[in-house]
Amino acid sequence: MGIPAPGRNLLILHLTVMVWGFTGILGNLISISAIHLVWYRVLIAAASLALYFRFRGYPFAVGRKAFIQFFLTGGLVGLHWVLFFESIKVSTVSVTLVCLSSVTLFTAIIEPLFYKRRTSKTEVFVGLLIVIGIYLIFKFESAYIRGIILGLLAALAAALFGTINSKLVKKNGATIISLYEMLGAWVWVSVFILVSGGFDHNMKPTSGDWAYLVLLGTVCTSVAYVAAVSVMKEISAFRVALASNLEPLYGILLAWLFFGQSEKMSAGFYAGAIIIFCAVFLYPLARYRFQKKY
C-alpha cells in the first residue's frame, strides 16, 4: 500500500531539509578551501540544472533584465556559501548552523525596508530573542568568534538574496532562477579567485573530495532545490517554512553523529541555541495565527 500524496510530499520535504542540513557535514569533510569548494559546488549545480532542463525539454531563455537580476543575485548566493563554509572551517558545524538561524532576524529587518512596510511587533520581539541567543553564544564560545561573525554575515547574505528572490519568483519560475543564480555565483566566485591568484594547485580536490563535491552540487543543491519547489504544489508555504526551520537542528544532530566530541559545546552555547531555535519556530506560528485572526 503506497503512501498518500500529502504524506509523501511531507516526507519528501523533510528529507530535503535533512539534505540541506547535511551540507555543513560535507563542507567540513571537503579538504579544499571554502572559496574553491563553492566554485566547484555552483559549477556542478549549474551544470546539473542545465542537464535537467535539457532532459525535460524545458525552455530556459530569459529576458535581458531578468538575466541581469539573476546574475547579480547569484553573487550574493556565492558570497553566502563562501562565508558559510569558511565559518565551518574556522569553527564547527554546530556554531555555523546556529548562527545561520539568524536569517529570520535579518529578514525581519531587511524585508520591511525592501517592501516599504512597517515592521511588526512580532518581528521585533523575535529579533530581540535571537539577539539574546547570539549574545550568549558570543559570551561562552569566545574561541570561535571569527566563525560566529562569518556565520552571521552568511545569514545576512542569505536574508538579502532570499528577500530579492521573494520578488523575482513572482514573475519567474524558481528552477530557472536557481539555474541562472548558480551560473552567476560561479562567474563571480571565478572572478574573485582570478583576481586573488587562487587558481593554483591548492584548488585540486582529492579523490575523496570529488565524491563529496558531486554529492554537494547535485543532491544537496540542484536536486534538493527542485524537490522543495515541487512539494510546494501540495504543501502550503507556511508548512514549508516551518519545516525549513529544522535545517540547523538536523545539521547539528548529524554533526554530532559524524564528528562526536569535536562538536561538543558549552552549556552557554546550548542555552543560546535553544533561545534562537524557540524564536525561529515561534515566529512563523505567531505570524500564521495573526494572519488568520486578521
pLDDT digits 0-9 by tens, 217-234: 999 988 887 777 667 667
At residue 33, φ and ψ (nearest 5 deg) are -65, 165
pLDDT band at residue 293, thresholds of 50, 70 and 90? low
**Arithmetic mean of pLDDT over the chain:** 84
Q: Is the confidence at residue 270, as pLDDT, over 90?
A: no
Q: Is the confidence at residue 136, as pLDDT, over 70?
A: yes
Q: Is the confidence at residue 256, as pLDDT, over 50?
A: yes
Could you tell me which residues come within 8 angstroms of residue 46 by beta carbon, excluding any fewer than 6 positions away?
179, 182, 183, 186
63-77: per-residue pLDDT in tens?
999 999 999 999 999
pLDDT at 138: 81
22-63: per-residue pLDDT in tens?
898 999 999 999 999 999 999 999 999 999 888 888 888 899
Could you tell me which residues come within 8 angstroms of residue 126 by beta carbon, excluding any fewer than 6 positions away?
104, 105, 108, 279, 280, 282, 283, 286
Query: Pseudo-torsion of CA 150, 153, 159, 165, nearest 10°?
Result: -80
pLDDT at 1: 45
Q: Is the confidence at residue 240, as pLDDT, over 70?
A: no
Decide: 209 and 103 in contact? Cβ < 8 Å: no
Greater model confidence, 119 or 249: 249
The answer to whether the Cα torsion of 199, 202, 207, 212 is positive or negative is negative
Q: For residues 55 and 108, give the distance between their C-alpha atoms in angstroms, rounded to a whole number.
A: 39
Q: For residues 83 and 96, give the distance between their C-alpha atoms in angstroms, rounded to a whole number.
A: 10
Mean pLDDT score, 112-128 = 76
Closest by Cα among 159, 198, 236, 228 to 18: 228
Mean pLDDT score, 260-287 = 78
pLDDT at 39: 96
pLDDT at 118: 76
Q: Is the confidence at residue 215, as pLDDT, over 90?
A: yes
Greater model confidence, 168 or 149: 149
Mean pLDDT comparison of 26-30, 115-119, 254-258, 267-271, highest-scoring range: 26-30
